[in-house]
């Protein structure tokens, strides 16, 4: 596997989930693959889980790891071609990318949506330049429209906890004080449909996600109704996708916060969130601290999703 930006890059998802569980059972069995290989992780945005879990995954595989925080300690990067560079950005991405490629074997990139231009965000302008110009295998550590390493970890977690062959999985919007990208909900919806689950998405009107990612899911605007009989509740905030309001906050209605009353409507559902989470905005203290909360397991599985992806990339070098 040379690139990983979408569920489609894995080929058969069931096969990848099986492989991930094999990796989890024996995390250090593939150290020979990474010997004398270097991973470069490039962050345009902050991270706790992705940074640590991906680094740990690479170390499990015997790799060397370098991390570059583009906005801290590196030259500020211009990303637009044709710009007269007389401002505060002394280096262009078009030189920086091939230079970075000289020093490593695989590149991971985190570059969120900026909400400045929907077309730029949804064409994945930044990560696609790394794919085009680095000369190296590239994987997403959360790009503008997707967070595949998170979704892969989410699917592993559901597979490990599900009690039915086809669980009902509900993705619910919840309030947040800042405008957040659609990457996590896009990927979660797409991967959950691909995994064969019954997928319901609930949100206030105006928060419809791109149909490209939600095909096969049911949209239910009544959150209580959506929760009925659910086996997994996946909470997440996202800003509006529709053209007129792209990147805007349309609601901070805290009646959408996931609480014990709503969880009682479910079929004893597990609670999931990718983290970081704003308590008592997205979810109450009681729900996230309950025994049905699997947010820490989910975060732990980030190491496994990253290791499975890196293993496949190393095998193709």
Interface residues with ligand CP (CB under 6 A) are: 47-50, 142, 150, 274-276
d(CA 151, CA 91): 33
Closest to ligand CP by CB, 302 vs 312, is: 302
Closest to ligand CP by CB, 47 vs 251, is: 47
Which residues make beta-bridge pairs with 272? 234
CB 271 within 8 A of CB 294: yes
CB of 228 to ligand CP, least distance (A): 28
CB of 147 to ligand CP, least distance (A): 6
d(CA 232, CA 267): 9
Mention every residue, 6+ apart, whose C-beta is less than 8 A from residue 85: 78, 92
Least Cα distance to 118 among 84, 145, 152, 148 occurs for: 145
**Beta pairing class for 270-272 and 232-236:** parallel
Closest to ligand CP by CB, 50 vs 214, is: 50
Closest to ligand CP by CB, 188 vs 213, is: 188
Percent helix / strand / coil, the chain, rounded to 5: 40, 15, 45
CB of 236 to ligand CP, least distance (A): 10
Which residues make beta-bridge pairs with 270? 232
CB of 273 to ligand CP, least distance (A): 9
CB of 276 to ligand CP, least distance (A): 6
Closest to ligand CP by CB, 49 vs 168, is: 49
Whether the bond into 276 is cis, omega within 30 of 0: yes
CB of 14 to ligand CP, least distance (A): 24
Closest to ligand CP by CB, 150 vs 237, is: 150
CB of 82 to ligand CP, least distance (A): 32
CB of 67 to ligand CP, least distance (A): 12
d(CA 153, CA 298): 6
Closest to ligand CP by CB, 142 vs 303, is: 142
CB 55 within 8 A of CB 41: yes
d(CA 236, CA 233): 10
Q: Give the chain's largest Cα–Cα span.
A: 60
Mention every residue, 6+ apart, whose C-beta is less than 8 A from residue 50: 110, 141, 142, 149, 150, 302
Closest to ligand CP by CB, 141 vs 258, is: 141
């Amino acid at each position: 596997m040379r690139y990983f930006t979408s569920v489609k890059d894995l080929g058969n998802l069931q096969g990848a989930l099986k492989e991930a569980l094999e990796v989890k059972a024996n995390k250090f069995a593939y150290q020979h693959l990474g010997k004398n290989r270097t991973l470069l992780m490039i962050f345009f945005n902050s991270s706790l889980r992705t940074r640590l879990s991906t680094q740990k995954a690479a170390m499990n595989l015997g790799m060397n790891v370098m991390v570059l925080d583009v906005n801290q300690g590196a030259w500020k990067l211009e990303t637009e071609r044709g710009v007269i560079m007389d401002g505060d950005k002394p280096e262009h991405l078009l030189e920086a990318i091939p230079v970075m490629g000289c020093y490593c074997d695989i590149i991971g990139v985190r570059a969120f949506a900026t909400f400045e231009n929907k077309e730029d965000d949804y064409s994945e302008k930044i990560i696609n330049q790394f794919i085009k110009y680095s000369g190296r295998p590239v994987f997403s550590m959360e790009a503008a429209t997707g967070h595949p390493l998170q979704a892969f970890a989410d699917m592993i977690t559901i597979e490990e906890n599900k009690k039915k062959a086809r669980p009902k999985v509900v993705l619910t919007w919840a309030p947040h004080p800042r405008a957040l990208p659609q990457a996590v909900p896009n990927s979660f919806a797409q991967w959950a449909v691909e995994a064969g689950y019954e997928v319901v998405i609930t949100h206030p009107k105006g928060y419809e996600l791109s149909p490209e990612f939600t095909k096969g899911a049911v949209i239910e605007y009544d959150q209580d109704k959506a929760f009925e009989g659910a086996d997994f509740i996946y909470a997440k905030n996202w800003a509006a996708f529709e053209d007129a309001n792209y990147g805007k906050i349309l609601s901070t209605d805290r009646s959408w916060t996931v609480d014990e009353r709503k969880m009682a409507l479910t079929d004893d559902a597990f609670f999931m969130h990718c983290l970081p989470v704003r308590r008592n905005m997205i979810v109450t203290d009681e729900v996230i601290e309950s025994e049905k909360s699997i947010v820490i397991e989910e975060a732990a599985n980030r190491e496994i999703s990253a290791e499975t992806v890196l293993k496949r990339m190393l095998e193709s070098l």
